[in-house]
Amino acid sequence: MTVYIDADACPVTRIAERIAKDHGVPVMLLCDTNHQLASDYSTVKVIGAGADAVDIALINLCRRGDVVVTQDYGVAALALGKGARAIHQSGKWYTDRNIDGLLMERHLAGKARRSGKHHLKGPSKRTEEDGRRFAESFEKLILEALNDQSSVL
């Protein structure tokens, strides 16, 4: 199992790294050439700039049993399709039960933005509580993934 982080402007990278390290799970941070990332624990993979280049690389790398950290619903859907687990930076797990609704929300929000008639608010500023909520949820996800991995062996 590997944790893959869609790390372009991801506010929970260090939290995810710490928890993964505590459980001996390798982490790969993927970013484009517009971001500078360094890590004492994770492997950093810099992907050439381009629309969706990081997303495509992440999906090509992830496998069944891996964990993906992303705020992109499309990436999450593709990861789930490969048998990986996926989590949003808010700590919400993407599942086969909720991904269709999330993709529909994304579609409708994009449609509203393109119409120019609706102004949607962006996300609120992250708080320490947001970080704690992500950490708790991410650790549960990692433990579940490790448990499933050991039951297969």
Vertex 35, ends 31 and 37: CA angle to 5°? 75
Nearest-angstrom CA–CA distance, 38 and 75 = 23
In a domain, 153, yes or no: no
Query: Total domain count for the chain?
Result: 1
For CA atoms 86, 89, 91, 96, give the dihedral sign: negative
Determine the average pLDDT of the residues in 67-86. Answer: 95
Domain residue limits at 101: 3-148
Nearest-angstrom CA–CA distance, 10 and 13 = 6
Q: Taking the model in full, what pTM does it have?
A: 0.88
**Residue 21, H or E segment:** helix 13-22
Whole-number percent of the chain with pLDDT over 90: 67
In a domain, 31, yes or no: yes
The structure tokens listed for 18 are: 């710490």
**Residue 4, H or E segment:** strand 3-6
Q: Which one has a higher pLDDT value, 14 or 121?
A: 14
The whole-number pLDDT of residue 123 equals 67
The amino acid at residue 152 is V
In a domain, 89, yes or no: yes
Residue 94 belongs to domain with CATH number: 3.40.50
In a domain, 118, yes or no: yes
In a domain, 20, yes or no: yes
The whole-number pLDDT of residue 42 equals 97
Determine the average pLDDT of the residues in 146-152. Answer: 81
In a domain, 139, yes or no: yes
In a domain, 61, yes or no: yes
In a domain, 125, yes or no: yes
